[in-house]
Structure 1
């Protein structure tokens, strides 16, 4: 089972995807799967084998949805600590043709070092954006709703199974 290790003050916490799933539920299953892997990639790039402390991490998220917010909050408490910023106009990974939303995330540690983690463009199929738009418009047919729920679950599971370098690109910024 994949886990993320993080300190909360002096307490070492090990968080699994299942823990985040219990917190968030299935509303944005794709996002919690991708978000979990985004954190893993960011922590590996920023900390290597070291375990970060929650108090030392800030996040800029290009995506304002509840799945990414919940996974980042659950692991880092960045929103509660007021070190979480959403900027949907961030200029990279603007894949959704219907609204400004970036699938890019910047994690900064206490030293000022930062990494940008970008979801690869081909991960989300065009139908995903079509269904997101229908969901926002509340215009799903019952069949489309079921298909959308299955698609989100499949994409979330795929994110958890893919090698990290096939899911995201990580770039050191500072």
Structure 2
């Protein structure tokens, strides 16, 4: 792995003090090989931070709840290290991925991050993940796996991780801010549309 990333960091309030967290710290905490998902989740939370702060809203570990549509270990480790939502028992998965801890092409890179008053819905833009990524993902570990699939997948993940870390956030993510702390059972679009949206 050779990730070429800028000195990105996320600041968050913890017990009344502002804590600054670098991407490198999150990477060391993960200590695994799911650094692609970790890179995407880090940038998604960076966008959540920017969105909350731009709206002059509370960005405090004690008040954050996160719902994730992706169950990957890199995603979870980024969320935990930055927000402490998992250890604070304020983390849940969407129904579509609660029965799986493995990644497949049906998983979405999407999150609902709430404080006590607002929810930021953040999703990776659909055109970011190439078709080849999903083809390889679904083929690996099956009888359809081909000789170079593992190497090709590793290289593709590294290229995409570098891209997500280096490009402007809004080039690759979409974010909407809603009034109200959205609960897991409210995350469907028709329910979000009943909330007042900050434009």
Q: TM-score range by the shorter chain?
A: 0.7 to 0.9
- The corresponding residue for 1:148 is 153
- The corresponding residue for 2:33 is 27
Work out the CA distance in 1 between the residues paired with 2:17 and 2:122: 27
Task: Please report how far the alpha carbon of residue 172 of structure 1 lies from its aligned counterpart in structure 2 after TM superposition.
Answer: 1.2
Work out the CA distance in 1 between the residues paired with 2:21 and 2:141: 31
TM-score by length of 1: 0.86
- The corresponding residue for 1:89 is 96
| Root-mean-square deviation over aligned CA pairs | 2.3
TM-score by length of 2: 0.76
Task: Please report how far the alpha carbon of residue 67 of structure 1 lies from its aligned counterpart in structure 2 after TM superposition.
Answer: 1.3
Work out the CA distance in 1 between the residues paired with 2:31 and 2:37: 11
Task: Please report how far the alpha carbon of residue 87 of structure 1 lies from its aligned counterpart in structure 2 after TM superposition.
Answer: 0.6
Say if 2:73 is the partner of 1:66.
yes
Give the unaligned 5+ runs of structure 2.
Answer: 1-6, 98-102, 180-199
Instruction: Check conservation: 1:64, 1:88, Cα contact below 8 A.
Output: no
Say if 2:125 is the partner of 1:116.
no
Work out the CA distance in 2 between the residues paired with 1:51 and 1:109: 7
Which region of structure 1 is more displaced relative to structure 2, 69-78 or 21-30? 21-30
Who wins on radius of gyration, i.e. which is larger? 2
- The corresponding residue for 1:134 is 139
Give the unaligned 5+ runs of structure 1.
Answer: 91-95
Work out the CA distance in 1 between the residues paired with 2:169 and 2:135: 26
